Chain A
Amino acid sequence: MNCLDAETLAAWVDGGLKGAALEDVRTHVAGCDRCQMLLGAMGRTRAAVPSPEPEHSRRRWLAWAVPLTAAATAIAIWIAVPKPSSAPVPSAAAVSVAPPPASPSLDTLPSPAAKEEAASPQASRDAKQAPPPPVARETSDAGRPVARNDELLRDAARPEADAREQRALRAPAAAAPAAPAAPPPEAAAGAAAQSANVLAERVQLAPRCGAAWSAAMPAAESELTAGSSPATGICWVVGRGGAVWRSVDGRTWQRVTFPEITDLSAVMATDARSASVSSADGRTFRTSDGGLTWTRR
């Protein structure tokens, strides 16, 4: 089979290939340098596609709708049904003021790492003892670090590493020290850790940012939507309302001033100083001085 043409590649990516044609393509690409590079290039252009409204947010809304409806129904029944007048009235002394039910506030929620530790203490211990990830090197192909190349070699060297352990390695350690500079409040830290976890799942930043990168994630004042990590410890994340954050050491985060209050949907960073940010309405902004100045394309 010849190398993929653009139409076949696009059809494959869109799920338009079936049967023998699909198998032929997979067989060919498994051993073809050029076609594997094509897949990588297609993957990098994913930032060009406006991300649709995530399905889980709708599901989350539905998940709230069910208990809310049930609660409203219960209240309506409680109001509609008269109380029996013969019910004994407790004396004031017998009434004990119970503490309010503990609502799951953000600071009482276990961190993702704590959950991992509860599920797998050994994995968490390994995570704490894990050596720092190797520094990603630049490659000549597209100027991108081959972080996962190193990751595979590291993983292959640890045969006991299963998927759960990998997640634990990527999650912030439960006992990770707070960021030395501007540690967020505790409540915000819980939310930030959750936000970071979601972001890490979505954009798969953690492997290159180090184990503690999300311990001091920016406070979740706005929803983070995308991130880019061009090298170990260097991360750029963007979110709604013009939120842009940058980390150059994998632990602390700096808020980067963005010229507009607009929802940002994608970021592609090349190093600690240069990044290209796309807004949800299709505009692109670029900085090459760490966010001090931005140019609109």
Chain B
Amino acid sequence: MPLERFAEALERGAERGADVRALHLEDLALACGCAAGDDAAWDHFIREHRPTLYRAADALDPSGSARDLADGIYGELFERSLFRYFHGRSSLSTWLRAVLAQRHVDRLRAGRRLEPLPEEDSAAAVGPANAGPYGTELDSERPRYFSLMRNALQRAVEGLPPRDRLRLACYYAQELTLAETGKLLGEHEATCSRQLARTRKTLRAEIERVLRAEHRLNEAEIAACVTSVSEDAGPLDLRHLLNTAEPVDVRKKVPVDRSKVR
């Protein structure tokens, strides 16, 4: 493997703010070898990392539609063009998964732009008024309750500190495990679990406050509203609520009114 290429990759990694001591040097050397056309390096890459790429594609979409993305990435790797974007800041395996995930998400989003958005505010989105299992009075209120709950939940989520929002997004919306969520946030999974429980209480308190103070619901109506939505979330999707919240600087402390938390 040409040392010049390795040194150049190291320099690029350092330029991108990576701590040289934390670089994955073995993987970086392997990538440099592959990029330089070293047959032994390429054989090693195929043996050790190609299966990861295709397993990741199958895991992303078990129907097999992500395999063409993996094929494309493998083609670019074979042509050596993609290796120059790897600077050893992670393991080669994780980087391959990230490249695949990035392309998968971008393709999903591109497809989503072409689909008509559901009319979530319409009564049809929560079903016909009398189709529910709660009796006529509650069922007739369901569209209204959904609308109120969406508004209250949106407000509550927006009021959360970004770190709490990120934790919610990772665990509830993206369904990462507690350990993975904790790792991304730099906290132990037990801490992560406790923080999620605390955030749920905060959300509940804020939802009740908004329903009570701004929508003038009494306690019975609030209870009915919460029950209605908690038993069938209907069109309420946490991901939409989390993504519309404005990003705020994590380092700025956002005061949380503890008196709101039961």
User: Which residues on A are within 8 Å of B, measured CB to CB?
Assistant: 5-16, 18, 21-23, 26-34, 36-49, 131, 134, 139-144, 146-159, 161-163, 166, 204, 266, 268-270, 274-276, 278, 282, 284, 286, 297
Contact = CB atoms under 8 A, between A and B. Distances in A.
B83 to A, nearest CB: 12
B184 A157 contact: no
B61 A40 contact: no
A263 to B, nearest CB: 15
B77 interface: no
Interface of B: 16-19, 22, 24, 51-56, 58-63, 85-87, 89-91, 93-95, 97-102, 104-106, 108-109, 112, 115, 153, 162-163, 165-166, 168-178, 180, 183-186, 193-194, 197, 200-201, 203-205, 207, 226-227, 229-233, 236-239, 242-243, 245-251, 262
B169 to A, nearest CB: 5
A156 B203 contact: yes
Given A16-B18, A41-B104, A48-B56, 15 more contacts: A6-B95, A7-B98, A16-B90, A30-B169, A31-B245, A36-B170, A36-B173, A40-B175, A146-B238, A146-B239, A149-B237, A153-B238, A156-B230, A274-B62, A297-B54
Contact of A157 (B100, B166, B204): B204
B91 A157 contact: no
Given A31-B162, A36-B242, A45-B56, A16 B89 contact: yes
26 contacts: A7-B98, A8-B89, A9-B102, A11-B89, A13-B184, A15-B183, A16-B89, A16-B90, A30-B163, A30-B166, A30-B169, A30-B247, A30-B250, A31-B162, A31-B243, A32-B243, A36-B243, A38-B98, A41-B105, A44-B60, A46-B180, A139-B237, A156-B226, A157-B204, A284-B54, A284-B58
User: Which of B86, B168, B248, B250 is most buried by chain A, counting CB atoms within 10 A of its CB?
Assistant: B250
A155 B200 CA distance: 7
Nearest to B160: A30
A142 B162 CA distance: 25
Contacts of A31: 162, 165, 243, 245-248
A150 B55 CA distance: 29
B125 to A, nearest CB: 13
Contacts of A152: 168, 172, 200, 238
Q: Closest 3 CB pairs between A and B?
A: A31-B247, A40-B174, A157-B230
Contacts of A158: 230
B109 A37 contact: yes
Contacts of B229: 153, 157
Contacts of B89: 7-8, 10-11, 14, 16
- Chain B binding surface SS class: helix
B250 A140 contact: no
Contacts of A151: 172
Contacts of B185: 26
Nearest to B168: A152
A6 B85 contact: yes
Contacts, number: 247
B55 A14 contact: no
B102 to A, nearest CB: 5
Given A14-B90, A144-B175, A153-B236, A47 B102 contact: no
Contact of A149 (B61, B95, B183, B238): B238
B207 A156 contact: yes
A30 B55 contact: no
B52 A48 contact: yes
A16 to B, nearest CB: 5
A147 B178 CA distance: 15
Given A15-B183, A42-B97, A44-B59, A149 B239 contact: yes
A148 to B, nearest CB: 4
A21 B89 CA distance: 13
User: Which of A43, A46, A156 is most buried by chain B, counting CB atoms within 10 A of its CB?
Assistant: A156
A155 B226 CA distance: 11
Contacts of A147: 175
User: Which of B55, B115, B197 is most buried by chain A, counting CB atoms within 10 A of its CB?
Assistant: B55
B140 to A, nearest CB: 20
Contacts of B236: 149, 153
Contacts of B178: 204
A16 B85 CA distance: 16
Contact of A268 (B59, B85, B94, B184): B59
Nearest to B92: A10
A243 to B, nearest CB: 20
A262 to B, nearest CB: 15
